[in-house]
Amino acid sequence: MPNATFFNLPNAKRQGIVNCAIAEFASTDYDSASISNITKQAKIAKGSFYQYFADKKDLYLHLIDLATEQKIAYFKASHPPDSQLGFFGYLRWLFSASTQFDLAHPALSQIVNRAFYGDLYFRDEVLKRTQIASLGYTRELVEQGIAQGDIDPSIDTDFAVFMLSTLAHRLRDFIPQRLGLTPEQLAQSQLSQEDCAAIEQTFDDLVRVLEHGLGRSPNPAPH
């Protein structure tokens, strides 16, 4: 986590450092990213950098936290076209909204993809960090779903939050395996239209199973 000195900087200077760091980490892998490049572009002394961050990893994790915070803020500020979607319809919309956020913030999304799909040595720490950061928002959604009558109130809230959070994060491993994509392709967002359509279908399948369970439907939906 950045030192208090960093947060005491004027907003413009602080944002300038962040913007330069995003540009550097989005353009190359973690090991190749250079603190010297970042400080040069941000026009700060290298010694000043270490007054703000413990090391390169500390800065990188700050950007991961920032990406998660901005995505959740984007969800809360956005609204689905149908205000009466219900919990499961809203959940499906969230997956699409996540894709839209990634398109609108390609550099941040590139950093997150490199962390998830690259050979980052602290990948597990990043995954855990993003999962923990999103738990509060997931809990809000579950509690709202229960209040609306879309989720069975007899289901333990903590378990529902755990299940949704775990499934959403495990999709990051399942999707490349299902589509036969390499980590490099995903890290660099090299996806064809067919790949994107298959990912959207995976989202549909997940929400359908969450809403209706694994039991056979008397009137199965066409594929």
* Residue % of the chain over a pLDDT of 90: 63
Looking at residue 84, its pLDDT comes to: 79
pLDDT (mean) for 29-41: 96
Burial classification of residue 88, based on how many CB atoms lie within 10 Å of its CB (0-12 exposed, 13-18 middle, 19 or more buried): middle
Looking at residue 179, its pLDDT comes to: 84
Question: Which residues in 143-182 are b (16+ Cβ under 10 Å) and which e?
Answer: eebbeeebbeeeeeeeebbeebbeebeebeeebbeebebe
Looking at residue 162, its pLDDT comes to: 94
Using alpha carbons only, what angle is made at residue 160 by residues 157 and 164, rounded to the nearest 5 degrees? Answer: 145
Name residues whose C-beta falls within 8 Å of residue 28's C-beta, 6 or more positions apart in sequence: none
193 pLDDT above the threshold of 90: no
189 pLDDT above the threshold of 70: no
Looking at residue 118, its pLDDT comes to: 83
190 pLDDT above the threshold of 70: no
Single-letter code of the amino acid located at 161: V
Q: Does the domain made of 1-54 have the CATH classification 3.40.50.150?
A: no
Confidence of residue 56 (pLDDT cuts 50, 70, 90): very high
Looking at residue 223, its pLDDT comes to: 54
Looking at residue 168, its pLDDT comes to: 86
pLDDT (mean) for 134-155: 94
Looking at residue 149, its pLDDT comes to: 94
221 pLDDT above the threshold of 90: no
186 pLDDT above the threshold of 90: no
Confidence of residue 9 (pLDDT cuts 50, 70, 90): very high
Looking at residue 14, its pLDDT comes to: 96
* Domain regions of the chain by residue span: 1-54, 68-212
pLDDT (mean) for 76-88: 85
222 pLDDT above the threshold of 80: no
